[in-house]
Amino acid sequence: MFRLLLIASLLLWVPAAQAQQTRKPPYWASIAASRALMRTGPGKEYPATWEYRREDLPIRVVEIYKNWRRIRDPGGTVGWMQVNLLSDTRTAMVTGTEIQPLHEKPDGSSAIRFHAQPGVVGRISDCGPNWCRFDAKGRRGYIGIGALYGLDPGESL
């Protein structure tokens, strides 16, 4: 995946991982690989503590060291991951213990299109103070932000 950056009126194509290197933590990202290892330190010589097999899982980048990112996963586990395994794509995970409705509009009185169980991961967009558009593999609707892990309180997308 590549990102388009505008630098001094020149258009340059750079890998998305390089675009992430300019961001200051903390920030939200997602796992881009179908298999990604979390390590105890910022290097391949450090032991792996977790293996993630969940592309698009939202994570919080809390520290940067060269091409490594210290991340926090939805369960609160913290460790290091190579930047090329991460993406700037904004995703979220349904939290809590109850099935959540996905509405047709960002309004609790609008029609319910689908329901999402806790743990469902989807891409988010059009987030306002109370709602986010949530897309879980083509099933789209608006969900209350209180039911999501992957964005800051009051954040707009």
The pTM (predicted TM-score) of the whole model is 0.83
Residue 150 and residue 92 in contact, taking contact as beta carbons nearer than 8 Å:
yes
Residue 64 and residue 102 in contact, taking contact as beta carbons nearer than 8 Å:
no
| 10, β-bridge pairs | 7
Domains along the chain with CATH numbers: 13-89 (2.30.30.40), 92-149 (2.30.30.40)
What does the block give as tokens for 15?
A: 């890998």
The DSSP output letter for 83 is G
Is the bond preceding 26 in cis, omega lying within 30 degrees of 0?
yes
Q: What is the pLDDT along the chain (157 residues), one digit of tens a residue?
A: 434 333 333 333 444 444 455 689 999 999 999 999 999 999 999 999 999 999 999 999 999 999 999 999 999 999 999 999 999 999 999 999 999 999 999 999 999 999 999 999 999 999 998 999 999 999 999 999 999 999 998 888 8
Task: List, in order, residues 6 or more apart from 75 with CB less than 8 Å away.
Answer: none
Distance CA 51, CA 67 (A): 19
Which of 36, 33, 60, 30 is CA-nearest to residue 122? 30
